[in-house]
Amino acid sequence: MSMFAQENLPALIAALLVALLGAPLSVFVVLKRLAFIGQGVSHAAFGGVGVAMVLGVAGATLASDLLQMGIVLGFSICAALVIAALGRTQKGRIDTAIGIVLSASMALGFVLFTIAESRHDHDEHGHAHGAHADEHHVIEEILFGNILDAQWSSVWVTMLGTALILLTLWWNRHRIIFWSFDEPVCSTYGVRSNATGNLLLVLLAIAVVLSMQVVGVILAAAVLVLPGAAALHLSSRLKSVMLWSIGIGLMGTIVGFAIGTQTSWPIGPSIVLMQAGAYLLALGTNTGLRRLRSA
C-alpha cells in the first residue's frame, strides 16, 4: 500500500506535523539536558489517559476526543511543573523528581485503567476473555501509538497545536535562547528564569500529548530529542541547527512512514528508528570531520 493512498493521508499529515513541532523543541531539550524530563512527561501522560478512562471519556466523537486530550494535556502539564518545582527545591534533585513523577504516573495510569476495565466487565458480564484482549490492545496503542487510525479531526487538532507551539517559540525566542545558553545570568538582564523554564515545559507537555497519537507514550520523548541531538552534531550555528533538526525530523518521518506502509513494521517505531539512524550518521560525520582536522 502506498504511503500517499487516500486512507493514509490523515496519518501522514499528522506524522509530519508532529515532526514539525518536535524538531525545534528538540534543540532546546538537548541544549538544556531536558531529555529525561521529556521522558517523565511522556510517561505521565499515561496517567492522564487513565484519569480520562475512569471519568468515562472515550474517543467515540470529536467532542469526547477533545475532552480526553484536554484531560491528558492538563495532567501532563501538571506533571511537568511538579518535576520543575521538585527539581528547584534545595534538597530536590531533578533526576529524583523525574523518577518519582514518572513511576507514580505510570502506576496510577495502570491502576485507573484496570478500574475502568473492571467497570466495563461488570456491564458486559460473561465476556471477560474478550475484554482482557481489548485491554491489552488499548494499552499497546497508548504505549506505542497507532498512527493509521488517525482521522481528519486529529489532523486539525494537531495542526492547531503545532501552530500554537511554533508561534509561542517564535514570540519568545530571544528569552528562551538566552535562558538555554546562560541561565545563571538571566535575572541580571531581566529574563525570568523560572517562568521561561516553565513555559518550555508547558510547550513540551503539549508536544508530548500531540505526539502520543503518532508514536505512543514510550516513543514520544524520542521524537522530541533525536532531531535536535543529530542537528547539534552538524552545525554550531543555532539557525543552521534548527534547519537541520526540522529536515531530519521531516525526512525521518517520511522514510519511516514509507517503510512502515510497505512492510509489517509499526509506523511509529519505524519513524523513531529512522531518526535514530540519522543521529548515528550525524555523530559519525562529526567524529570523522574532527579526526580529519586533527590529522
Q: Which CATH architecture has domain 6-288?
A: Orthogonal Bundle (1.10)
As a whole number of angstroms, the distance between CA 46 and CA 217 comes to: 7
Where are the domains positioned within the chain?
6-288
DSSP-assigned letter for residue 93:
-
Distances (CA, A) of 164 to 67, 203, 210, 294: 18, 9, 12, 44
pTM: 0.86
Angstrom distances, CA of residue 133 to CA of 111, 126, 129, 136, 137: 17, 14, 6, 5, 6
Neighbours of 173 (CB within 10 A): 13
Residues of the chain with pLDDT under 70: 1-4, 58-62, 90-93, 120-141, 143-144, 295
> In this predicted model, what pLDDT tens digit does every residue of 233-270 receive, in sequence order?
999 899 999 999 999 999 999 999 999 888 888 888 89
Strands of 11-109 (E only): list them: none
Which helix H or strand E contains 202, and what residues bound it? helix 193-223
Instruction: Give the C-alpha distances (Å, rounded to integers) separating 248 from 19, 51, 110, 229.
Output: 9, 35, 34, 10
